[in-house]
Amino acid sequence: MAANSLVSLAAAVREALAKPQSLAASSEEEKKARLDLIDLLPELNAALVGDVEFLRELAWSAVHVLPVAAVNRWGVAKLVPADGEISYEELAKATGVSESILRRTLRHAMTSRLFYEKDGKVAHTPTSKLLVENEYLAAFVDLHTEVAFKSLAHTMDALKQWPDSTNPRETGYSIALGKPGELAVYEDLAKDPVRTVNFGRAMQFFSSGEGYEVTSLVEGYPWGKLGKGTVVDVGGANGFASAAISKAFPDLKLIVQDIRMVEDIKVDYPGTNIEWMQHDYFTPQPVHEADVYFYRFVFHNQYDDKATETLRAAIPALKKGARILINDEILPEPGKIRWRNERAVRGLDAIMLACMSGHERGVSEWEQLFKKADSRYKFLSAAPAPNSKMWLIEAEWTG
Ligand SMILES: C[S@@+](CC[C@H](N)C(=O)[O-])C[C@H]1O[C@@H](n2cnc3c(N)ncnc32)[C@H](O)[C@@H]1O
């Protein structure tokens, strides 16, 4: 590339960044251009830094999660005044962490837009302030630093010890906790009501992300046809998906089930018709004759043996024509969807492996799963939900 192009490209980018409103996308063309640019950024970076440097940075990338984990664990964000500064000395006193470790860690965090230094003191950036202002985002950061980051670091050891394991206890997570092969993530989280609440919030935050919005589930399925029917949200966490469905279709009765105690997961959603129930989805489904049993982000937690067990446990409750509706992601063929979306779903697949011995699935794997569980399940369809990265996968009980 000629030096001119670099100079003009840098000037154009600088100019655009100086006027952030110029990067807002409203027309369809602009929206597409925005997504194209996001996909081009890593390619541009690789082209500018070169392959050697690119690989070097890739091997280094986990190191930049460390200050995020530290900020989360030490509760730094809430100690920094919203519109002022705090000294390292005061932060050290409040967190119980030495001043020198704090300074090193926070200066590292500052390279990722978290906090900045003003007159030698620590102040918030708009990004770090979100950790205080958005407790759902804070819960997401907590889950990913305290569960996923730890598990990923031990996954190679787990794979060596238990190659191809389908057991949710044989994971990087159980090794990270010093209980190899003994503890599954959900067993651990269920012990602690605070972490249970945080997990629900983290999932709710995840589902507010671009392409994961629960509106696609509400708008992408003909709930209205069920009239005054009953819908069971299996593994529904704090019920935010049910709440969205219930608000849009007030005639429906929603039942949220989760392994965790009702008092730990229950949230009051005014104007909704929701019942709460503690239920282990590996045991027979207690709600008989519902119209739809839906599982959102549940099956990717499980390998196929566990997933078929879950589908079989529903059978005693199913009336003829009842539907199983799965709202999950689909693994694409390599290179067939946008880079950013493919990277996100493959990243999630890696988290499932590291934390739970679970996995994301392709369309044919979903079809096979129903076949394997019981021949009376008729696979109906798998299609992307509208404007979403999530899919709707549906089967009918014909027994
Ligand atoms: C990944 S979260 C999905 C939550 C929610 N459906 C969503 O869309 O965000 C999986 C949920 O399954 C619950 N769960 C795990 N094991 C379970 C079991 N054996 N029986 C019932 N629920 C379980 C977890 O507590 C968690 O709330």
Instruction: Using the CB atoms, write b or e for 132-147: b if 16+ within 10 Å.
Output: eeeebbbbbbbbbbbb
* Residue reference for tokens 């839906």: 294
What pLDDT shows up at residue 3?
56
What pLDDT shows up at residue 68?
98
Q: Is 136 in the pocket of ligand 1 (CB under 6 A)?
A: no
ipTM of the modeled complex: 0.99
Reported as a pLDDT band with limits 50, 70 and 90, residue 200 is confident
Atom of ligand 1 nearest to the CA of 214: 8
The DSSP string of 143-204 is HIIIIIIHHHHTHHHHHHHSTT---TTSSHHHHHTT-TTT--HHHHHHT-HHHHHHHHHHHH
Give the C-alpha separation, 129 to 302, whole Å. 35
41-52: average pLDDT: 94
* 367-383 confidence digits (pLDDT tens): 999 999 999 999 999 99
Q: Is 292 in the pocket of ligand 1 (CB under 6 A)?
A: no
β-strands 85-86, 230-234: how paired? unpaired
Reported as a pLDDT band with limits 50, 70 and 90, residue 190 is confident
Give the C-alpha separation, 362 to 395, whole Å. 16
Reported as a pLDDT band with limits 50, 70 and 90, residue 330 is very high
Q: Is 277 in the pocket of ligand 1 (CB under 6 A)?
A: no
141 pLDDT higher than 70: yes
In the reported structure, the alpha carbon of residue 32 is separated from the centroid of ligand 1 by a whole-number distance in angstroms of 34
The lowest-confidence range among 131-145, 200-214, 278-292 is 200-214
Give the C-alpha separation, 393 to 369, whole Å. 11
Residue % of the chain over a pLDDT of 70: 99
Q: What are the chain's domains?
A: 63-133 (1.10.10.10), 135-205 (no CATH), 209-397 (3.40.50.150)
Q: Is 195 in the pocket of ligand 1 (CB under 6 A)?
A: no
Atom of ligand 1 nearest to the CA of 282: 19
In the reported structure, the alpha carbon of residue 237 is separated from the centroid of ligand 1 by a whole-number distance in angstroms of 6
Q: Is 307 in the pocket of ligand 1 (CB under 6 A)?
A: no
* Residue reference for tokens 């879950």: 310
Averaged pLDDT of the chain: 95
What pLDDT shows up at residue 387?
87
Q: What is the CA radius of gyration of the chain?
A: 23
Reported as a pLDDT band with limits 50, 70 and 90, residue 205 is very high
Instruction: Supply the DSSP symbol for 87.
Output: -
What pLDDT shows up at residue 264?
83
**What is the distance of C-alpha 384 from the center of its chain?**
18
SS3 for 118? strand
Angle (CA) 372-355-188 rounded to 5° is: 105
109 pLDDT higher than 70: yes
| Closest residue by Cα to residue 390 from 233, 211, 241 | 211
In the reported structure, the alpha carbon of residue 359 is separated from the centroid of ligand 1 by a whole-number distance in angstroms of 15
Decide if 387 contacts 216 (C-beta within 8 A): yes
**Pocket residue to mutate for ligand 1, from 197, 258, 312, 392, most atoms within 8 A of Cβ:** 258
| Closest residue by Cα to residue 277 from 296, 298, 260 | 260
Cβ contacts of residue 240 below 8 Å, gap of 6+? 200, 203, 204, 207, 214, 267
What pLDDT shows up at residue 2?
52
263 pLDDT higher than 70: yes
Kindly report the backbone phi and psi dihedral angles of residue 319, in degrees, each rounded to the nearest multiple of 5, phi listed first.
-85, 160
β-strands 292-296, 323-328: how paired? parallel
What pLDDT shows up at residue 214?
93
In the reported structure, the alpha carbon of residue 276 is separated from the centroid of ligand 1 by a whole-number distance in angstroms of 14
Atom of ligand 1 nearest to the CA of 196: 25
β-strands 323-328, 230-234: how paired? unpaired
Give the C-alpha separation, 259 to 297, whole Å. 14
What pLDDT shows up at residue 341?
92
Give the C-alpha separation, 346 to 331, whole Å. 7
Cβ contacts of residue 147 below 8 Å, gap of 6+? 173, 185, 189, 355
278-297: average pLDDT: 96
In the reported structure, the alpha carbon of residue 300 is separated from the centroid of ligand 1 by a whole-number distance in angstroms of 10
Q: Is 259 in the pocket of ligand 1 (CB under 6 A)?
A: yes
Reported as a pLDDT band with limits 50, 70 and 90, residue 213 is very high
267-273: average pLDDT: 94
In the reported structure, the alpha carbon of residue 199 is separated from the centroid of ligand 1 by a whole-number distance in angstroms of 10
Residue % of the chain over a pLDDT of 90: 91
1 pLDDT higher than 70: no
What pLDDT shows up at residue 399?
87
What pLDDT shows up at residue 4?
74
Q: Is 298 in the pocket of ligand 1 (CB under 6 A)?
A: yes
Q: Whose CA is nearest to atom 13 of ligand 1?
A: 235
Provide the annotated active-site residues: 300
What pLDDT shows up at residue 318?
97
The dihedral formed by the CA atoms of 205, 208, 211 and 214, expressed in degrees to the nearest 10 = 110
